[in-house]
Structure 1
């Protein structure tokens, strides 16, 4: 992966990140200073943060749609009870 060659030849997609990390690591005495380039390289390889963010977005989208569906059902029931009964089309027995 750090060889510089992609799977179909040419430069690999993460090679630039590897070069940045390698340059940082070679120039420093404390490797902890190279944490950001290392995280960028690992994210390029594995997409862990991207996948986690996509899961969060999907869960929020589902939650919002469930809430909208629940609210619209409530409104439809209220409207059906109120409007249809006041017009006199249906007679509801409360007994």
Structure 2
């Protein structure tokens, strides 16, 4: 919140960025000439990022996509099937679970 107060009192998380932006505007502009405001673009970008997290969200999506692509390029060897995973530890499936665990232990 630009008021400086957070949801639970005290300063909000973005208030320091707002103060930085405001001080940049005060230092770089006056009543006759506002051309110095262009110097405040990085401070404005930091403030908007604090408010909306657009860059952080884009970076997270890019990392998730890269991870999914790497998993597809290099699939696991001896990956258990869904049926094998469902049988592990369930009542009445002890024999299948023991056989699968023995097989996995042998493979290591």
1:25: Cα distance to partner?
A: 0.6
TM-score by length of 2: 0.63
The structure richer in helix per residue is 1
1:6: Cα distance to partner?
A: 0.2
Q: Tell whether 2:21 aligns with 1:43.
A: no
Q: Distance in 1 between matches of 2:2 and 2:38?
A: 20
Structure 1, residues 45-77: CA drift from partner, whole Å, max 9, x if none? 00000000000000000000000018x58xxxx
Give every structure 1 segment of 4 or more consecutive aligned residues whose post-TM-superposition deviation is greater than 2 Å.
none
Match of 2:74 among 63, 68, 73: 68
Task: Structure 2: state its 5+ residue gaps.
Answer: 30-35, 79-108
In the other structure, the counterpart of 2:2 is: 2
TM-score by length of 1: 0.71
Q: Distance in 1 between matches of 2:22 and 2:52?
A: 18
Q: What's the secondary structure of 2:12's corresponding residue? A: coil
Q: Tell whether 2:28 aligns with 1:28.
A: yes
Q: Distance in 2 between matches of 1:6 and 1:42?
A: 17
Task: Structure 1: state its 5+ residue gaps.
Answer: 74-95
